Amino acid sequence: MSKLKDEIAIRRTFGIISHPDAGKTTLTEKLLLFGGAIQIAGAVKSNKIKKSATSDFMDIERQRGISVATSVMAFDYKGKKINILDTPGHQDFAEDTYRTLTAVDSVIVVIDVAKGVETQTEKLVKVCRMRNTPIIVFINKLDREGLDGFDLLDELEQKLGLTVTPLSWPIGMGQRFQGVYNRYEKKLNLFSPHGKQTKEETIEFTDLSHPDLEKHIGEAAAAELREETTMIEEVYPQLDVNAYLKGELSPVFFGSAINNFGVKELLDCFIEIAPTPLPRITEERQINPEEDKFSGFIFKIHANMDPKHRDRIAFLRICSGVFERNTNYLHVRNNKKMKFSNPTAFMAAKKSVVEEAFPGDIVGLYDSGNFKIGDSLTEGEKIHFKGIPSFSPEQFRYVENADPMKSKQLAKGLEQLMDEGVAQLFTKDFNGRKIIGTVGALQFEVIQYRLKHEYGASCTYEPVNLHKACWISYDDKEKFKAFYDRRKRDMAKDKDGKVVFLAESAWTLKMAQENFPEIQFHFQSDF
């Protein structure tokens, strides 16, 4: 038992979230550099060297420079086992990010110093706040001109509703950027913009009133730093780790990920204060990590991570007990036993087989189509993890087969992509036509691209005028039949066979709700 406790104590599982282009993938890379997981940063953006970031492994991501799929990376640092989930910042993939947030214990939010808090960040932080997830903020790109430090802190408080405490503070910005003062460790870190991946100059500086400060950063900057740190002491609360763990206080760090500056301070503080794996709520009861018996849930499915092999990987978050290779576990939804001969752990794009894994770990299970998002695996107990929904899509198109010879491939490709949660598929009862619904327009391109490159199938889209897809529930069968007969042309099934009403407009939906008060209309699938 004590081994399980020790393993839990050294684990930190967190997600990195941000608006696109705030530098999230670059930060992930630098964290991996410190963990020795990669030897060279791929974020070199010069034209001579076109290296892709380590964590972007799908072709379409490399072409567009955005992270579409959530990547999982694990590394060791200072005796701690760290699991990072890098999430797509692009709003069209928000649903993937929401689900990923169910699998982490804390998050790091990356903010671009020039743009401040952006809309996508607001939405994602809102989800974290609903769950009281502990948040650390990293303000990135200090080597560029940006907003004033205090203005940024105000924005974090007003737009994100966070109570903040700056643990490091910038000395100048953009052209005048000289480094950061690390309040957490009482050290002065001087920045040299040579872009090399070497250690920055760190000077112990317990007392900022010491005259040596001028030698390092000049008189004007020294006076400004003293004035600003005094103001911080007066205005912002001290770091209270318990308040942070409850999601009530957010430490803030400043740096420049591309120059590898300020990242180590963030990581060193993070491993000290971030939570170990937390309990998870199921419909039946709370699951604690220290329990003897293994349990976990699937929060993501990713097809064809290795284009050479037609495989799907289901990502399993371990919630309690010890997961072991070649051991029979119960797949709760299918009510059947399964065992896994080659479960994998992830070091960015490299994978290795694991013998055992502990709470907080993310394990990849090769999947031939058994899993759906939200599935539970246990040693036998029937539990259902909560809070991993599908949302009502906002964009719809008919999907047509462009190559009649390849209809099997198309059907298989669509089924697998839908299981991954890339989008949702509705089949109309009236004529059997298939409609794809997504949260954003970019998914349509991703689906078309992946069907062609991974399944050898081609599809075309036709516009369809729809406002919302709503899941239906009812108590009175007669009332449902009356509703169904009247709205037959608007009825469909989702991929799990659940009844869905496809409303053409907000008005149609309103009328349906008014005319059939006994029918419940739901905007997410886990009603």
Per the CB < 8 A criterion, the answer to whether 149 and 166 are in contact is yes
| Residue 387 domain-assigned (yes or no) | no
| Same structural domain, 16 and 146 | yes
Nearest-angstrom CA–CA distance, 135 and 460 = 42
Could you give the CA distance from residue 212 to residue 60 in angstroms, rounded to a whole number?
A: 52
Cβ neighbours for 147, distance < 8 A, ≥ 6 positions apart: 113, 114, 116, 155
Distances (CA, A) of 171 to 53, 175, 217, 405: 29, 11, 8, 64
Q: Please indicate, yes or no, whether residues 337 and 195 belong to a single structural domain of this protein.
A: no
Residues 469 and 484 reside in one and the same domain: yes
Q: Is residue 95 assigned to a domain?
A: no
Are residues 243 and 262 located together in one domain of the fold? yes
* Count of CB atoms situated within 10 Å of the CB of 293: 12
Q: Are both 20 and 41 inside the same structural domain?
A: yes
Asked whether residue 177 falls in the same domain as residue 46, the answer is yes
Looking at residue 66, its pLDDT comes to 43
| Close Cβ partners of 251 (under 8 Å, ≥ 6 residues apart) | 136, 137, 164, 165, 166, 167, 184, 239, 244, 269, 273
Distances (CA, A) of 450 to 30, 302, 311, 350: 30, 12, 14, 22
Beta-carbon contacts of residue 23 (< 8 Å; ≥ 6 apart): 110, 112, 140, 141, 257, 258
The contacts of residue 84 (CB under 8 Å, 6+ apart) are 14, 15, 16, 28, 31, 32, 72, 73, 74, 75
Domain assignment present for residue 448? The answer is: yes
Q: Last residue of a domain, which of 320, 347, 378?
A: 378
Of the candidates 246, 273, 300, which is a domain's last residue? Answer: 273
Is 442 domain-assigned? yes
Q: Which of 218, 251, 273 is the last residue of a domain?
A: 273
Residue 476 lies in a domain: yes
Q: Are residues 290 and 253 in the same domain?
A: no
Indicate the number of domains in the chain. 3
Check residue 67 and give its pLDDT: 42
Residue 219 lies in a domain: yes
Same-domain check for residues 25 and 172: yes
Residues 304, 168 within the same domain: no
Same domain membership, residue 287 and residue 262:
no
Query: Per the domain annotation, does 328 fall within a domain?
Result: yes
Q: Do 69 and 200 fall within a single domain?
A: yes
Q: In Å, what is the CA distance from 108 to each residue of 36, 140, 142, 280, 358?
A: 20, 12, 17, 20, 22
With contact defined as beta carbons under 8 Å apart, do 481 and 491 qualify? Answer: no
Q: What is the DSSP letter of 131?
A: T
State residue 168's pLDDT score: 86
Give me the tens of pLDDT residue by residue for the chain, a chain 527 residues long: 588 899 999 999 998 888 777 777 788 777 877 766 555 444 333 333 334 444 444 454 444 444 434 477 888 888 898 888 877 655 555 566 677 788 899 999 999 888 888 877 887 888 788 778 999 999 988 888 888 888 999 999 999 889 999 998 888 777 777 788 888 877 777 776 554 445 556 666 666 666 667 767 777 778 887 888 888 888 888 889 999 999 899 999 998 888 878 888 889 899 899 999 999 888 888 999 999 999 999 888 876 555 555 567 888 999 999 999 999 999 998 899 998 988 887 654 456 778 888 999 988 888 877 888 888 999 989 988 876 666 677 789 999 999 889 989 998 888 878 877 778 899 999 899 999 988 777 778 888 888 888 888 999 999 999 988 999 999 889 989 999 999 999 999 988 888 999 999 989 999 999 999 998 998 876 65
Q: Where are the alpha helices (DSSP H) in 276-333?
A: none
pLDDT score at 453: 82
Residue 13: CATH number of its domain: 3.40.50.300
For residues 320 and 294, is the Cβ–Cβ distance under 8 A? yes
Q: Is residue 90 part of a domain?
A: no
Predicted pLDDT of residue 390? 65
d(CA 485, CA 110): 51
Its domain, for residue 240, covers 9-75+105-273
